[in-house]
Structure formats: C-alpha cells, structure tokens
C-alpha cells in the first residue's frame, strides 16, 4: 500500500515500545515490528502527538531502537465463519494445533496462520432469494457444523439496508468463495463470502434488544442451581485460592451446563492447568450427544509463560467469538480463567505507560475494564425474532484467598452471582468448595426463593452453633442448638456436597433437585425431640448415609424409590418415638 503509515521505534520497555510515526493512526490499530524476516504483531494502546505507545504480542528479544514499524490501518480483529468450533487458538486466534504441526514443539514468533481452514469445503444451503432485503447479522444461508446449523450471516460491518442481487445455489463451497452479492441503498454491490473479520474490542450488537436474563442456566451442580443460580445471558464469578477446585468445577459446568457452545479463555492460567484442560476435554463424553465434548468447545489458550499482552487479547477474542455464535440463536457459555492474571497484565502495561496507579498498583480504570468485559454477556432478541444468549463466568485467583483485593471487589460490583470458594471447605474435602454463607446470587433459580431462604437460615444457624461449640465445647451447648447444628451438617453433606466423579451424583438434573430438595426441606423444618445428644447424633448419622446412598441411585431406577422408602421409614420411626414420648 502506497499510503501505508510507517514509524521507527524510539524506546523499548519490556513488551512496550514507543514509535514515532508520520501520518494518521487510530487507537487499537495493529502494527508490525519488522525484524528481518520476522514481523511481530503489536497494537496501539495510546497516542500522544506523533508518538504511539504499542504493546507487542510476541517476545521482544532482539528489537532495537530505530527498527521500522508498519501500521496496517486495521484494528485487532478475529476471523469469523464456519470452522472455528472445536479449535484451540492463542489470544490472537492463531490455531495452536496447526502451528505445532508446522513448527514442532517450540513455536516460533512472528508466525501468523489463518484461523479458519481456507481449503475446507462446506455444504451451503441458501435461506434467502434474489430481491430479499437484509440487514447486518441476518442469515443468508446455513452450513452444518457439528450438531449445529452454522448461519452464514450478512457481515456485521455492513451498516446499510441491502438487497440480495444473487445467492449461491445449494452446494459445496470454500469459505473464500463468493456465496452472495448484496446491493446497498446507493446501488453499490458487495460480494459476500462465508468469512469476515470483526474488531475484538467492539461488542457485536446486530440484534433488536438485550433482555434481562430470566431463564435459569442449569449446571446440574446442586449448590449452584438451587442456592446461587445463574441465568442464561447472566454473569458470575468464582474467586478462590489455588487448589480450591476451580478447574474441576469449570469442567463439570462445561460438560453439564444447559448451553450449546462452551468457550474457555485461559487468560494467563498456569501452563499445567491449561495442559490438563487440553488433555481432558477431547476425552470427556458430551452427555448431550454421546460424542466428545470438544466438538462444541473452543479453547483460547494463553498461559502465564506467554507474553502478558496476549492475555488481554485472549479475553476479547473469546468474547467476540461467543457473541458471533450468540447471533445464530445459540446459548454460549464463556469461562475466563483467570481474570486475575488478565488484571495483572493490565497492571504491568499501566506501569510501563507510567500512569497514575490505583489500589495495589492496579490501573485506575481496572473497574471499568472488568465491567466492559462482563457487559458483553447478555440474553438478546435477534432481528429474525429468535433469541440467543452468552453467559460469562470468570474465575478470580486472589492472593491468599483474600476477597477484599481490588480485582475481586471490582468483579463483585458487576456480576449477578458470586460463587466464593473456601480454603477451609477445600481442605475439609467438601466439594464443590463454594462457601454457602459467603456466596450470593441475584437470579431466580429452579427452587422457590422462600424455601431456599428457609434452608439457608438453618445452615447459617447451624454454623453459628458450630462456632460456639468450638469455644465452649459440645457439653456447653444445649440439645436444641445441637440439633440445629446437626441439621445444618446434614444439608451440607447430602445436598451442598456433590461427587464430581460419580456417574450419577456428578450431574443432578433440575427435576431431581426439585424432588430431593423438597425432601431435605421437610426434614430441616421438622421438629425432633431426643433424650440426649448421642441419640440425636446417631439419628442424623444414619439419615445422612441413607440420603448419600440415595444420591448415588439413578432416579429412573426402582432402587431410587426403594431407598426413599428406607429414608421415610427411618424418619417415621423417629417421629413415632417422639409421639410416644
């Protein structure tokens, strides 16, 4: 390009470079540092006069002052089209499997590959005809992608009204083949293929309206669905210390959540945990299809050993891909792991820009950046009258499990549910280690709120008795208070705790949760009279084991009803003794 803007590096600070340029550039424009045969991708994050401050998405070893930089007049974007599903990308949407196949174990810098296989063919079925009037985001046709009909849409950067001049017949095409020609209101014609690009930091808003999320997103995790639910199109966060079970909880949610597409953004997570995800997902059976879970999963992988700037890119790349599939009327779940390390990357970049720091040296705009990310979730009504959703769940890794630190507090201000993981519960092997007394949700779940509040009150009072017992001992506690403590322990052990490795207990359907919770609720509100604490303890220990065995029994088997009768028999016996007394 003859009008390409060029510049030269004037200073280098880690992955931050300052470039003096001539001409005009814009915020978030992509530029390349030319280092011999290598071209290192970077992004403009601040402009001051004729100086551009850029973060480099590659290792900056070997860069010198005076090296040339070429600006592209394009913003940091991703490729959207069929073929994205089931892929593993880095934060810049480079396919990691293809990179590894081409270059081996150690990935070279400066290599850019197409995010979508340009040679693969797709069976296109048109959904419009010549003369139809369309707007951005409306479907031209579909291609099968896995178990879904992938909509080929009018590109989101087409802001006019368009008339279909021509549309391809049903057949096999490459993503780069022309499948339609659209004419705008000025009479100009625009050829359309199956793929297009969209800037990652601009939300996709090609829909009628965003609606307040009301439909629960079933995760089949009892403590989540019953006590701290998440709605489709909502937001939630999972803060917790290292080793508290965030990764296993994410895998269970990915596998059993009532969503169509799962996107995992490993934005700065430790390499070992990312490798575990990459190894496990292709092996996990999708209960919805019986095939591998990876077929409806996308992984954006940036480990803590990769350049810090790419952590930010991975978050926005994942959000943009999620919005793209939401435009097809699908339900998307985006899991960001861990937003703390994304925030640490922002802190590092802010320090190199010499900006005035906020609390704990995080940038003053930390809260607004976190809010902007979670605001990209939502339940939307599309232009064709259908609905789609993108739910965002972010894990937070506060140092020492301190929920008062800035990232956790900034996140709590914008999310709709808080699933705080507890070190004490994790150490006690009470999984999921979500603290039932610290966590909360603004959403309405599958169980009536008043019943949940009654059960939660028993749990809270039982915890208070337990704290008192730790001071005065069991002998200093009244029998009535001791029974309240036993009820709280029963609720915790048989309902809040769940065996993620048991084929039955790992996933508890909404129907089963409603049925079992009603039984537990009745037990908690019932009154019992015991002669002494040993009698009360024995009663609840037997009851707990009966209900735990019940949890391991499939609901559609005769053994489920048989075990329930054993529970009723045990309760009836206790009530009979109470009546006799």
pLDDT digits (tens, 9 = 90+) for 327-361: 999 999 999 988 998 998 899 889 998 899 999 99
Q: Is 22 exposed, middle or buried (0-12, 13-18, 19+ CB in 10 A)?
A: exposed
Q: What band does 325 get if pLDDT is binned at 50, 70 and 90?
A: very high
Higher pLDDT among residues 578 and 42, named by residue: 42
Q: What band does 1 get if pLDDT is binned at 50, 70 and 90?
A: very low
What value does the mean pLDDT of the chain take? 92
pLDDT digits (tens, 9 = 90+) for 27-39: 999 999 999 889 9
Name every residue whose Cβ is closer than 8 Å to that of residue 431 and which is 6 or more positions away in sequence: 245, 248, 425, 497, 498, 500
In our burial notation (b when 16+ CB lie closer than 10 A, e otherwise), range 428-445 reads eebbbbbbbeebebbbeb
Average pLDDT over residues 149-168: 96
Q: Would you say residue 2 has pLDDT above 70?
A: no
CB 495 within 8 A of CB 427: no
Neighbouring-strand partners of residue 486: none
Share of the chain above pLDDT 90, in %: 77
Q: Would you say residue 271 has pLDDT above 50?
A: yes
Q: Whole-angstrom Cα distance, residue 54 to residue 45?
A: 6
Q: Whole-angstrom Cα distance, residue 256 to residue 95?
A: 26
pLDDT digits (tens, 9 = 90+) for 70-126: 999 999 999 999 999 999 998 889 898 888 888 877 777 888 889 999 999 999 999
Q: What are phi and psi of 453, to 5 degrees?
A: -65, -40
Please name which of 302, 307, 266, 305 lies closest in space to residue 42, comparing C-alpha atoms. 307
Q: Whole-angstrom Cα distance, residue 459 to residue 402?
A: 23
Range ranked top by mean pLDDT from 245-254, 281-290, 403-412: 403-412
Q: Domains in the chain, start-ordered, CATH in brackets?
A: 6-75 (2.40.10.170), 117-194 (2.40.50.100), 209-441 (3.40.50.300), 449-580 (1.10.1140.10)
Q: Would you say residue 576 has pLDDT above 60?
A: no
Q: Would you say residue 3 has pLDDT above 80?
A: no
Average pLDDT over residues 380-403: 92
CA distances from 16 to 13, 94, 154, 306, 574 (A): 5, 21, 37, 15, 71
Q: Whole-angstrom Cα distance, residue 551 to residue 499?
A: 9
Least confident of 125-134, 245-254, 569-578: 569-578
Specify the pLDDT at position 272: 63
Q: What band does 581 get if pLDDT is binned at 50, 70 and 90?
A: very low
Average pLDDT over residues 228-236: 97
Q: Would you say residue 579 has pLDDT above 60?
A: no
Q: What band does 305 get if pLDDT is binned at 50, 70 and 90?
A: low
Please give the DSSP secondary-structure letter assigned to residue 311: H
CB 338 within 8 A of CB 396: yes
Average pLDDT over residues 212-239: 96
pTM of the model: 0.94
**Residue 98 tokens, joined:** 């293809």
Q: Whole-angstrom Cα distance, residue 172 to residue 503?
A: 41
Share of the chain above pLDDT 70, in %: 96
CA angle 343, 424, 443 (to 5 degrees): 60
Q: Whole-angstrom Cα distance, residue 4 to residue 14?
A: 26
Specify the pLDDT at position 299: 92
CA angle 130, 205, 259 (to 5 degrees): 95
Specify the pLDDT at position 148: 94
């Amino acid at each position: 390009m003859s009008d390409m803007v060029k510049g030269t590096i004037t200073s280098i600070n880690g992955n931050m470079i300052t470039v003096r340029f001539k001409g005009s550039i814009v915020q978030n424009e992509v530029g390349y540092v030319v280092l011999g045969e290598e071209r290192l991708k970077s992004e403009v994050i601040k402009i001051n006069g004729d100086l551009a401050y850029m973060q480099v998405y590659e290792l900056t070893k070997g860069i010198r002052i005076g090296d040339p930089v070429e600006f592209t007049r394009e913003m940091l974007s991703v490729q959207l089209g069929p073929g994205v599903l089931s892929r593993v990308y880095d934060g810049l949407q480079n396919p990691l499997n293809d990179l590894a196949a081409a270059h081996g174990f150690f990935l070279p810098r400066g290599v850019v590959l197409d995010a979508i296989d340009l040679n693969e063919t797709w069976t296109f079925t048109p959904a419009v005809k010549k003369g139809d009037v369309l707007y951005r985001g409306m479907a031209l046709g579909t291609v099968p992608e896995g178990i879904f009909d992938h909509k080929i849409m009018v590109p989101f950067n087409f802001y006019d009204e368009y008339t279909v001049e021509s549309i391809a017949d049903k057949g096999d095409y490459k993503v780069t083949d022309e499948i339609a020609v659209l004419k705008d209101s000025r009479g100009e014609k625009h050829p359309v293929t199956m793929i297009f690009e969209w800037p990652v930091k601009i939300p996709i808003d090609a829909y009628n309206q965003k609606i307040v999320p009301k439909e629960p997103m079933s995760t089949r995790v009892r403590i989540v669905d019953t006590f701290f639910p998440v709605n489709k199109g909502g937001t939630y966060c999972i803060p917790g210390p290292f080793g508290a079970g965030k990764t296993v909880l994410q895998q269970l949610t990915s596998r059993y959540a009532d969503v169509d597409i799962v996107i995992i953004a490993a934005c700065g997570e430790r390499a070992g945990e990312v490798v575990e995800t990459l190894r496990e997902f292709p092996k996990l059976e999708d209960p919805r299809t019986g095939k591998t879970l990876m077929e409806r999963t996308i992984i954006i992988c940036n480990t803590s050993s990769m350049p810090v700037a790419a952590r930010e890119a991975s978050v926005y790349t994942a959000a943009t891909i999620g919005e793209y599939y939401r435009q097809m009327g699908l339900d998307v779940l985006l899991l960001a792991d861990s937003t703390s390390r994304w925030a640490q990357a922002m802190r590092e970049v802010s320090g190199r820009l010499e900006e005035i720091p906020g609390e704990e040296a995080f940038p003053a705009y930390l809260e607004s950046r976190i809010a902007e990310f979670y605001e990209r979730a939502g339940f939307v009504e599309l232009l064709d009258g259908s609905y789609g959703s993108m739910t965002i769940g972010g894990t937070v890794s506060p140092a020492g499990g301190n929920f008062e630190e800035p990232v956790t507090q900034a996140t709590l201000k914008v999310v709709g549910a808080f699933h705080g993981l507890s070190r004490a519960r994790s150490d006690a092997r009470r999984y999921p280690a979500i603290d039932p007394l610290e966590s909360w949700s603004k959403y309405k779940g599958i169980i009536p709120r008043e019943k949940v509040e009654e059960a939660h009150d028993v749990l809270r009072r039982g915890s208070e008795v337990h704290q008192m017992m730790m001071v005065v001992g069991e002998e200093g506690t009244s029998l009535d208070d001791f029974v309240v403590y036993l009820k709280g322990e029963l609720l915790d052990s048989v309902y809040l705790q769940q065996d993620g490795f048991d084929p039955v207990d790992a996933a508890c359907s909404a129907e089963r949760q409603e049925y079992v919770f009603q039984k537990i609720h009745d037990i908690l509100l019932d009154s019992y009279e015991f002669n002494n604490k040993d009698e009360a303890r024995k009663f609840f220990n037997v009851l707990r084991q009966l209900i735990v065995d019940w949890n391991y029994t499939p609901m559609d088997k005769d053994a489920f009803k048989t075990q329930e009768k054993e529970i009723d028999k045990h309760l009836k016996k206790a009530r009979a003794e109470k009546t006799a007394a």
